[in-house]
Structure 1
Amino acid sequence: MSAVDKNDLSTAYPVATGVFGLSGRTALVTGAGGGVGAAVAEAYAAAGAAVLVTDIDKDAAATVSQRITARGGVAEPFALDVCDGDSARDAAAAAARLGNGTLNIVVNNAGVIAPAMFPKMDEARFRKVLDTHLMGSYHCSHAALDHLPDDGTGRIINVTSAAGLTGTIGQANYGAAKAAIIGLTKSLARELAKQSVTVNAVAPLAATAMTENIRSNEKLAAKTLARIPLARWAFPEEIAPTFVFLASDAAGYITGQILPVDGGTVI
């Protein structure tokens, strides 16, 4: 990624203008204490949005929020457990207050992994992943309904994965959760179109803590890279602009779609 210095966020996130700008809008990003979530929060702020940076790790959320405000952006941290409906409702309300009563963009990014081959996959491990990914997306999307506008700027952007599109080995819980999010995305897109709210999903593949178990295993890393036509992992900063696009006016006529940003892994 020679054109972008991942340590210099001013080059990673040039301020978007025109149909790609988010000035005057407010976003709630879950799992934004690191990885793709942090990159999305920072990209939204660079595009002009006020961002509620949420994570179950309050300190991580605060660090990202401080990074945004230090560069002149508008952000606040919020400790959010997406598995808790009350916590999700509090977060949606806090985001709306940040946006003078309106929450325009919800990004359901929070996730966990609990890998195991299926014979050793106990119910607790299976439910933990479904509760975070699927129920977390449900809680935060549902909580946002009272705050989303009907003026065409309302966006719900979910995060799925190639695992939800093609299946995976050793993470049936993760694959099931991500496949369910695809169904949730398409169903909400049909329902919320009446309120001019678009609902889409991104299926990213990036070098983050979520993929560390693969990238640190020489055999798994080699197999994964062999399936990526571009033959490399993306930085989270390369994934974030897709979320800016889907949140912007440029994507106002796109809904119910699943967009892989994975170097061509799913073609």
Structure 2
Amino acid sequence: MTIRFDGRVAIVTGAGNGLGRSHALGLAARGAKVVIVDFGGARDGTGGSTEAAEKVVAEINAAGGEAIAHGANVADFGQVQDMVKRTMDTWGRIDILINNAGILRDKTFTKMELADFEAVVDVHLMGTVNCTKAVWDIMRAQNYGRILFTSSSSGLYGNFGQANYGAAKAAMVGLMNVLHQEGAKTDIRVNTLAPTAATRMTEELMTPETLALLKPEAITPGVLFLVSEQGPSRTILCAGAGAFARTIIYETDGIWLDEAERTPETIAARFADISNPDGQKALQGAFEQTTKFAMKAAAAKGIALPPRG
């Protein structure tokens, strides 16, 4: 099976450098028409220029592909709407959205100004929401769409000095879980990437030897699979240095306590039982947890619950 994107139109944000550039080049090489979106600001989000985006467009066009540039700040919904309008005016459809744009303003939580927290959340979380909202109804009308969010191990597992970034990146998982359900009937598949790569966002955080292993190009094959026709949905793919893995959120089977036992002391005494991984499951929706807890209670009390619906 060869994965191709002929006839598909893709938008890639933060595509002037690093991961976004690599993803855009990969899509174009396999036939996609690509919108290179880059605000052109510094790593902390200040400044702005379309120069980086135009260079990627020139690179794609020189290789025989088709691309246009747009300098939208993803945190500004009006600019995002203009980006989508220009894409539709040019090619008439939008099949793929890769949300990759981001900024860093790292400091410990005690030293971090709220303005720096809000700025990072505005770009990573609200920027992703803005772009996804702007293409959502187009994809629904087409009965086809592939959307990728970019998370991070900082959001999934934590990283000192990145409370703002980690909070925004963890939010991608919740957004994915809901939009996976809402997009299913119109074949909109939503996934999340958690990459580790040598980019200007990470160049000061790693040794030169480590950075040499973590080329953005090593991650893009996983991205191309996720946004392909054959791609999954509701998947968190972790990637870096040519290694690929999945993060899966499990819930333990847990325990049920009768009314007399429901004390903090009992919780403390039985916390190992609550945490026991035997029988843990990756739940597929919020009501699956509700049903599980209700069934445990009903079984303990000898109550037969009517079926849902």
Q: TM-score range by the shorter chain?
A: 0.7 to 0.9
Choose from 79, 82, 88 the match for 1:87.
79
Aligned residue in 1 for 2:135:
144
- Name the structure, 1 or 2, with higher relative contact order (CA <8 Å, separation 6+): 1
Q: Provide the rounded CA distance (Å) in 1 between the counterparts of 2:167 and 2:60.
A: 34
In the TM superposition, residue 74 of structure 1 has moved relative to its aligned partner by 0.5
Q: Deviations over 1:185-219 (max 9, x none)?
A: 1111111112210000111101000101202xx5x
Shift of 1:145: 1.6
- Alignment match of 1:195 (pick from 160, 163, 186): 186
1:19–1:248: 8 Å Cα contact kept in structure 2?
no
Q: Report the Cα distance in structure 2 between the residues aligned to 1:29 and 1:179, rounded to whole angstroms.
A: 20
- In the aligned structure 1, how far is the partner of 2:135 from the partner of 2:246? 31
TM-score normalised per structure 1: 0.83
User: Which residue in the other structure is 1:98 paired with?
Assistant: 90
1:36 and 2:19 are equivalent in the alignment: yes
Return the alpha-carbon distance in structure 1 between the equivalents of residues 84 and 143 of structure 2. Answer: 19
* Mapped pair 1:157 → 2:148: yes
| Matching residue of 2:7 | 24
Query: Is the partner of 2:81 in helix, strand or coil?
Result: helix
Take 2:112 and 2:139, find their aligned partners in 1: how far apart are those partners?
38
- 1:44-123 aligned within 5 A: 44-57=27-40, 58-99=50-91, 101-123=92-114
**What TM-score, normalized to structure 2?**
0.72
- 2:176 is the alignment partner of 1:185: yes
* Residue identity matched to 1:255: S
Which consecutive segments of 4 or more residues in structure 1 shift more than 6 A? Answer: 264-267
Instruction: Tell me how far 1:240 sits from its aligned partner.
Output: 1.2
Deviation at 1:45, TM superposition (A): 0.3
Number of the residue aligned with 2:218: 238
SS at structure 2 position matched to 1:180: helix
Summarize deviations over 1:4-24 as a string: whole Å, max 9, x none: xxxxxxxxxxxxxx5510000
Query: 5 Å matches for 1:197-216?
Result: 197-215=188-206
The one-letter amino acid paired with 2:104 is I
Instruction: State the identity as a percent.
Output: 39
1:152 Cα offset (Å): 5.6
User: Partners in 2 of 1:61 and 1:149 — Cα distance?
Assistant: 28
Q: Relative to structure 1, is the Cα distance of residues 244 and 266 closer, same or farther in structure 2, using a 3 angstrom cutoff?
A: closer
Q: CA deviation at 1:151?
A: 5.5
TM-superposed CA distance for 1:250, in Å, is: 2.2
Residue 134, structure 1, aligned to residue 125, structure 2: yes
Cα distance between partner residues in 2 of 1:109 and 1:55 = 10
Deviation at 1:95, TM superposition (A): 2.0
Whether 1:261 aligns to 2:239 is yes
Structure showing greater radius of gyration is 2
CA distance in 2, matches of 1:180, 1:244: 23
Q: The residue matched to 1:146 in structure 2 has which SS?
A: helix
Return the letter of the residue paired with 1:53: I
Q: Alignment length, in residue pairs? A: 236
Q: Deviations over 1:117-137 (max 9, x none)?
A: 111011011011100000000
Distance 1:52 1:191, change over 3 A: same
Moved more, 139-148 or 20-29: 139-148
**Structure 1: gaps spanning 5 or more residues:** 1-17, 226-230
Cα pair 1:153 1:249 within 8 Å, conserved: no
Partner of 1:11: none
Q: Superposition RMSD on alpha carbons, in Å?
A: 2.0
